[in-house]
């Protein structure tokens, strides 16, 4: 046996035996530290994801309720006002009064209108944000096939419209309203402030064309094309297309964010209008890198 091996033999020396014991304990402590750290990391991420999932559900429910009340108010015209004809002055007057009453009951509605199925305006109450009758007709025609909600062109106004049908389900007209963008943003911000989430978390409302209608973070970007098409990290499904999926994803600022989208089946009005509700917050990248460095130090000790 070589002298080097004899020196390392714990059976030949108490000092060597103690050294081997100390080395073994150090390795065991290092391994335990890594395991505990990984366990803590997993628990923290799971807790974060659970909070985000619960919070985005709360946010979506509140927004769904607010939009549902406005949509139902518009559709109530079907039961209170008969479809007017050009020769029916009484029906036209009743329709105009109903539109005025609708605005009075819902002060958030800056303008209300009723059009025929071709989008031609028949009656209105309030001042429209559209500069021309042609622009008015164009956006109202969007809801011939179903309820529609989006930002109107060249304005900070949101348009909401829905087809009005008769007893046989045939469309007889289009009921529409305009709301200030700040109305929806204020609701999202109020709910966001109540949520127990990271202070940097942003609430987003995105329409069916991937245009951002509301961003409580104050970002001016009108859309998220990169986020809508880019794959998520780790092979996870894109949260913009997968409700309830929590994923880490690089957005248009090229930074990593945690993104979660509310489920559609809990919010019938949002689903009907084609709206997505999301919470987005920065991923704790520096923190996790620090954890890796600490583990490397532990292994070297």
Percent of the chain at pLDDT exceeding 70: 66
pLDDT at position 59? 92
pLDDT at position 67? 95
pLDDT at position 32? 60
For 244-286, how does the pLDDT look when each residue is reduced to its tens digit (9 = 90+)?
Answer: 677 777 766 677 788 888 887 889 999 999 898 988 888 864 4
Percent of the chain at pLDDT exceeding 90: 23
Say if 173 falls within a structural domain.
yes
90 falls in which pLDDT band (50, 70, 90)?
A: confident
DSSP annotation of 213: E
Question: Which residues, 6 or more positions from 104, have their beta carbon under 8 angstroms from its beta carbon?
Answer: none
Question: Which residues, 6 or more positions from 60, have their beta carbon under 8 angstroms from its beta carbon?
Answer: 262, 263, 266, 267, 270, 277
Last residue within a domain, chosen from 154, 182, 210: 182
pLDDT at position 190? 92
pLDDT at 69 over 90: yes
pTM above 0.85, yes or no: no
Q: Which residue has the higher pLDDT, 126 or 20?
A: 126
Say if 265 falls within a structural domain.
yes
Last residue within a domain, chosen from 182, 217, 252: 182
Q: Are residue 86 and residue 166 in the same domain, yes or no?
A: yes
What's the whole-number mean pLDDT along residues 154-178? 86
Lowest-confidence pick of 85-89, 190-194, 226-230: 226-230
pLDDT at 44 over 60: no
Q: Are residue 114 and residue 54 in the same domain, yes or no?
A: no
Q: What is the CATH number of the domain that holds 263?
A: 3.30.450
16 falls in which pLDDT band (50, 70, 90)?
A: low
What's the whole-number mean pLDDT along residues 131-155? 80
Say if 5 falls within a structural domain.
no
Q: What is the CATH number of the domain that holds 128?
A: 3.30.450.20
Rounded alpha-carbon distances, angstroms, from residue 256 to 31, 55, 199, 283: 29, 20, 16, 6
Say if 55 falls within a structural domain.
yes
Q: Are residue 138 and residue 165 in the same domain, yes or no?
A: yes
Q: Are residue 161 and residue 265 in the same domain, yes or no?
A: no
Q: Are residue 102 and residue 167 in the same domain, yes or no?
A: yes
What's the whole-number mean pLDDT along residues 197-208? 85
The residue segments making up the domain with residue 75 are: 68-182
Count of other CB atoms within 10 angstroms of residue 202:
20
Say if 73 falls within a structural domain.
yes
Q: What is the CA radius of gyration of the chain?
A: 30
Domain count, the chain: 2
Rounded alpha-carbon distances, angstroms, from residue 54 to 51, 258, 267: 5, 14, 14
Q: How many helices (H) and strands (E) does the chain have?
A: 9, 10
pLDDT at 149 over 80: yes
DSSP annotation of 24: H
Q: Which residue has the higher pLDDT, 270 or 46?
A: 270
Helix (H, G, I), strand (E, B) or coil at 173: strand
154 falls in which pLDDT band (50, 70, 90)?
A: confident
Q: Are residue 73 and residue 178 in the same domain, yes or no?
A: yes
């Amino acid at each position: 046996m070589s002298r080097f091996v004899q020196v390392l033999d714990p059976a030949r020396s108490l000092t060597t035996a103690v050294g081997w014991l100390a080395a073994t304990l150090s390795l065991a402590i290092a391994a335990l530290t890594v395991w505990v750290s990984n366990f803590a990391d997993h628990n923290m991420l799971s807790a974060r994801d659970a909070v985000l999932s619960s919070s985005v559900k709360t946010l979506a429910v509140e927004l769904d309720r607010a939009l549902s009340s406005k949509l139902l108010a518009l559709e109530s015209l079907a039961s209170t006002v008969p479809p007017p004809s050009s020769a029916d002055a009484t029906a036209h007057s009743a329709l105009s009064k109903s539109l005025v009453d609708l605005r009075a009951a819902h002060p958030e509605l800056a303008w209300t209108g009723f059009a025929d199925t071709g989008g031609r305006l028949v009656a209105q109450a309030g001042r429209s944000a559209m500069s021309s009758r042609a622009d008015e007709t164009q956006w109202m025609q969007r809801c011939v096939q179903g309820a529609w909600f989006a930002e109107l062109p060249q304005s900070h106004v949101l348009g909401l419209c829905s087809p009005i049908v008769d007893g046989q389900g045939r469309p007889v007209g289009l009921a529409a309203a305009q709301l200030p963008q700040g109305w929806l943003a204020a609701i999202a911000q109020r709910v966001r402030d109540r949520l127990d989430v990271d202070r940097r978390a942003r609430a987003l409302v995105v329409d069916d064309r991937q245009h951002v209608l509301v961003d409580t973070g104050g970002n001016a970007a009108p859309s998220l094309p990169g986020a809508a098409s880019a794959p998520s990290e780790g092979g996870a499904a894109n949260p913009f297309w997968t409700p309830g999926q929590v994923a880490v994803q690089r957005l248009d600022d090229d930074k990593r964010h945690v993104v979660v989208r509310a489920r559609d089946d809990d919010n019938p009005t949002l689903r009907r209008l084609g709206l997505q509700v999301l919470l987005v917050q920065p991923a704790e990248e520096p923190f996790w890198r620090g954890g890796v460095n600490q583990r490397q130090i532990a292994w070297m000790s």
